[in-house]
Every structure is written in structure tokens, then in C-alpha cells.
Amino acid sequence: MLTQGPRGTKDILPGEVDAWLYVEKKIRELCERFGFQEIRTPIFEHTELFQRGIGDTTDVVEKEMYTFTDRGDRSITLRPENTAAAVRSYLQNKLYADNSLTKLFYIGSMFRYDRPQKGRYREFHQFGVEALGEQSPAVDAEIIILAVRFLQSLGLKDLELSINSVGDPKCRPVYREKLQEFFKDKLDGLCDVCRSRYDRNPMRILDCKSGECQRLSVGAPEITDCLCDECNEHFEKVKEYLTAAGISFTCDPRLVRGLDYYTKTAFEIKYSPLGAQSAVAGGGRYDGLIEEIGGNPTPAVGFAVGLERVMLALEQQKLFNAEPHKADAFIVALGEKAQSVGFKLLVELRDAGLKAAMDYAGRSMKAQMKQANKAMAHYAVILGDDEIAKNVAVLRDMESSAQTEVPMEEIIKKLTDEVKG
Ligand code: HAM
């Protein structure tokens, strides 16, 4: 029996890769324009990086990590996200040394052991950016604008951008207490998960999908009423910058992110036609993470986009049409001698920069012409015993069916001139 790919993983097949390349090209163009440089970090890291970075009580760390002990008895984890890893690399390689603001981007696979469904996978890809070393709210706005522009550049419309401030270690404890006070006599009605969140991370109760928990959180205090002056001012500035840039957004005081490292700005972009998994991008500021991981206190902000969700949206809205892969020339070789002359010509045509193909199975003329059509070849180069004897080939324009006999030594030049114009 065939061994199937693991649950929650997907092969990206040749017919689908074009759309990925198109999206990756857009990412690279846009990041270049915004001054972000690509970084590639390993797919696995020491487990403690994510435990310290993302937070021990988050769903990601508690339930979703692919963690194993390697042969050297180290605990290793396949990265569930890349912010902690980018920060690790930033510190380890002293990327802060020559710049006060370091702007990085990445594209790569992440791994989370979650229940797979449409738009949610165990191996998925993110495009993310991290801007490290600057506390100005202008950077928050800059990266939000980058996320929006990226999705718009693919033709996605009606994106819903929600922003919030989740405070900082000065004001969040005040809010936590207020929330605990609010939920104190509602504990029995909350789901099991939220009951355990009450002590550890009560803000996550606001994010619960259970209808009963949602009903019980109606009227809960809002973080934006508890922000300290610094967080409040920062949030106001981010909004000002976004408004000035013409970016529409909604303030959602209940927006809580699933990872613990956020401070001040948090945001999400939804694309509702995707249904249940409509969050295409999420991010925010994480001014405490770099210190948590062992560096000097350094402000930072970033986001990540789920690329499978972007692909689903492109497919759903028919926003990408792959250009067909057309061969410039297909060599139709009839007979053994023609096969070897044809093979040499094939190599030379490719070396000359042309897209060339041929049949190796010694099929009939009709079958090889069919293949030439399938390859959408511009020209068929027909070689049989007669042509070999005369040291020529017949060039057939596959569209007009016009045929000309061309001396062998002129074929490469003739095809190059014709195809490259
Ligand atoms: P996140 O919200 O966990 O944030 O993930 C970002 C995006 O990745 C989500 O909005 C979603 O589109 C996609 N995503 C997450 N899990 C899955 C999954 N199982 N299958 C498919 N797509 C998924 C982060 O990862 C943060 N590191 C973002 C960040 C960067 N914050 C600051 N800097």
C-alpha cells in the first residue's frame, strides 16, 4: 500500500507552483521597495526558544508544537512561527550592530499540530516581516501598510483590518485584574479551556469561539479603557499614521492575539470569503521579546501572512492565471541516427538559451507531432534518414504549418533569431 503524506500536509504540484512563484515575486518586489531584507533561518530550533518566546501557556506551545529529542538528547522543535527565530538570529549574529532599525522578511514553512481543515494545515507557509530596534509608531503603521499593500497587490479587495492595543507590562496587569473581577461569578458558565485561562491568561477568554463564552463576555471591560498614557499615545499615533495613509481600519478592543509576546499594537487582516479560516495576516509590536530571549531591551514590530490562505483566496477569486509553459522547439527524430543527431541538437539549443524538448521513446511521426503540440512548441524540428543524409532539418512552424528545409549548421541561429526576435 502507498504511504500517504502526513495529515495536514500538502504537496504543491507543478500546476500550482506558478501561483506560488508569482506571490513570492510580489513579496520580494514589495519588501525591496519598503527596505526589508530577506533572512532564512533553520526550520528547527531549540525548544526553549519558543517556550520562552511565545509563552508557555499559549495553545501553540502547550498543544501544537512538533517537538522531539534528537540523537544528541536535545529537545528540538520544528518552528511553529518565525518571530522568535528571527529575534534569535538578530541577537546571535548581532544584526543590530550597524543599524538602529533592522528590517527583515522571510518566506517559509511553519509547523503546528492543529486540527487540519480548509485553510489550516500542520505544515503551512508564512511570509513575515520583523522590524527590530525602533519604538516609533510610524514603524507599526509602516508594516501594517506593507501587509495591506501586499494583499491589495494580488487583487484582494474588501480586506478587513482590525487593530487594537494590548497594553504593556505597566497597564496590562490592571486590565487583567478588571477582567478577572468581571468573570469571577461567571466561571461556572465558561468552557473548560476558558476556566483554565481565567488564572493564566484571562484576555484569551475574549477570543473564545464558544457561543456561551461569547455571551458571557458581553459587557466585559475593554483594554482600551485601561491603557497607560504611553500606550494610549502610541495607539493614537498609529491610527493617525494609518488614517493619513488612507488605510481603512476598525478598532477592535477585543482583538487578542494567540501568542504572548505582544505589547501595544496588535492587528489582524481578515478576508471573509475564506469562511472559518479568514485571518490572512496577523501581527503587532513585541517590545519585550528581545529581552526575554536574552538581548538588551529592544522594541520591535512585525506580522506574518498565511500563504495557503492567500492561495485559496487567489483561486476562489480567480485572480491568477498561469501563463502556459511553451517550448520554443520540439525535436521530432525518426530513426536511430536521427535520435542521436537530434539529442546533440537538443543540448545545443538549450545551451543557446532556447526551451527545447524531444521524445526519447522512438514513437511514430504522428505521435511525436502530438507531443510537440502538447508542449505548445513554436517549431517542430523534424529529422529523418533523408534529412540526416542531406545534413538538414525541416523546420515546421506549428501555428502556420509552413515548413522549410534548413542546413543543420544554421538551425541554432535561425531558431534563436525567430524565437528571440
Ligand atoms: P499567527 O497569527 O499565529 O502569527 O500567524 C500568522 C498567520 O499565519 C495567520 O493569520 C494565518 O494566516 C497563518 N496561519 C497560522 N496558523 C496556520 C495554520 N495552521 N495553517 C495555515 N495558516 C496558518 C504569527 O505567527 C506571528 N509570528 C506573526 C508576527 C510576526 N507577529 C509579529 N511578527
Q: How is 63-92 classified by DSSP, letter by letter? A: H--EEEE-TTS-EEEE-S-SHHHHHHHHHH
Cα–ligand 1 centroid distance for 282 (angstroms): 6
- What residue type is assigned to position 228 of the chain? C
Q: Which residues pair with 162 in a beta bridge?
A: 250, 268
Q: Are strands 356-358 and 250-251 parallel, antiparallel or unpaired?
A: unpaired
- What is the per-residue pLDDT for 99? 74
- What is the per-residue pLDDT for 419? 85
- What is the per-residue pLDDT for 222? 94
For residue 140 and ligand 1, the question of a CB distance below 6 A is answered with no
For residue 114 and ligand 1, the question of a CB distance below 6 A is answered with yes
Grid coordinates of 419: 524565437
The position carrying cell 500517504 is 4
Which residue, among 7, 92, 76, 2, has the nearest Cα to 43 in the 3D structure?
Answer: 76
- What is the per-residue pLDDT for 58? 86
Find out whether 92 and 45 touch, Cβ atoms under 8 Å: no
- What is the per-residue pLDDT for 97? 82
Which residue, among 270, 284, 286, 289, has the nearest Cα to 140 in the 3D structure?
Answer: 284
Distances (CA, A) of 189 to 36, 51, 219, 351: 47, 30, 15, 72
Give per-10-residue mean pLDDT for the chain (421 aa): 97 96 98 98 97 88 96 98 98 90 98 96 98 98 98 95 96 93 92 89 88 92 95 98 98 91 97 94 98 96 98 95 96 96 97 96 96 97 97 97 97 92 77
Cα–ligand 1 centroid distance for 281 (angstroms): 7
Find out whether 394 and 368 touch, Cβ atoms under 8 Å: no
SS3 assignment, position 119: coil
Q: What is the Rg, in whole angstroms, of the alpha carbon atoms belonging to the chain?
A: 29
Which residue intervals of 130-271 are DSSP H helices?
Answer: 137-153, 172-183, 192-200, 211-216, 229-244
For residue 128 and ligand 1, the question of a CB distance below 6 A is answered with yes
The DSSP element (H or E) to which 52 belongs, if any, is: helix 47-54
What residue's CA is closest to ligand 1, atom 20?
120
Cα–ligand 1 centroid distance for 383 (angstroms): 55
What gap in Å lies between CA 290 and CA 53, rounded to an integer? Answer: 9
What gap in Å lies between CA 208 and CA 280, rounded to an integer? Answer: 19
- What is the per-residue pLDDT for 2? 95
Grid coordinates of 232: 494610549
